[in-house]
C-alpha cells in the first residue's frame, strides 16, 4: 500500500509539482492549498509524512507544525518544511516547532525526493 503524504502549499504550481513528483514515485498524495483546515485534513487522511510550506496566507506553517505536534494522535508524523524565505534563525525556529527536515525553495527534485525517502524510511 502506498504511503500517504499531505502536501500543504498555497502556490498552485509548487503544489502541483510536489504532488506530481510524489505520485510518479509511487506515493498517495493529499494536496492542501491553505492552512485553515490543515489539522482536520491531517487527522482525516492519516499521512505518513507532511510537507509544509512555511509562508502560507493567514497562518504560519510554523504554527501549523506546532499544532500538529501538539496533537497526541499526530505528533509522530514527520514534517518536511519548505520555504522560499529562509532568513537567519529560520531553520532553527522551524526545527524547534517540530519539523524533522527543511529545504529552501526553489527545491530541486533530487534533494526533495531524498529528503522524502529519508523521512519515510522504516
Q: Of 7, 35, 25, 11, which Cα lies nearest the Cα of 106?
A: 11
Contact status, residue 57 vs residue 88, Cβ threshold 8 Å: no
pLDDT score for 122 = 57
For residues 56, 59, 62 and 65, what is the CA-based torsion angle, rounded to 10 degrees? Answer: -100
Q: How far is CA 36 from the centre of its chain?
A: 15
Mean pLDDT by 10 residues, the chain (122 residues): 95 96 98 92 97 93 96 96 82 94 93 97 74
Predicted TM-score of the model (pTM): 0.95
**CA 106 → CA 13, 47, 50, 66, 90, distances in Å?**
12, 24, 18, 24, 16
**Could you give the CA distance from residue 56 to residue 59 in angstroms, rounded to a whole number?**
6
Residue 88 confidence (pLDDT): 76
Q: Rounded to whole angstroms, how far apart are CA atoms 4 and 83?
A: 21
The domains found in the chain, sorted by start residue, are 4-120 (3.40.50.2300)
What's the rounded Cα separation, in Å, for the pair 113 and 55? 21
Amino acid at each position: 500500500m502506498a504511503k500517504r503524504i499531505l502536501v500543504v502549499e498555497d502556490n498552485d504550481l509548487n503544489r502541483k509539482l510536489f504532488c506530481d513528483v510524489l505520485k510518479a514515485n509511487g506515493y498517495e498524495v493529499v494536496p492542501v492549498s491553505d492552512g485553515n483546515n490543515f489539522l482536520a485534513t491531517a487527522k482525516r487522511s492519516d499521512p505518513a509524512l507532511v510537507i509544509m510550506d512555511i509562508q502560507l496566507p493567514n497562518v504560519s506553517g510554523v504554527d501549523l507544525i506546532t499544532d500538529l505536534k501538539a496533537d497526541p494522535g499526530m505528533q509522530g508524523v514527520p514534517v518536511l518544511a519548505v520555504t522560499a524565505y529562509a532568513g537567519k534563525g529560520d531553520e532553527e525556529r522551524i526545527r524547534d516547532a517540530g519539523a524533522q527536515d527543511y529545504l529552501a525553495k526553489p527545491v530541486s527534485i533530487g534533494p526533495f525526493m531524498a529528503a522524502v525517502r529519508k523521512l519515510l524510511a522504516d
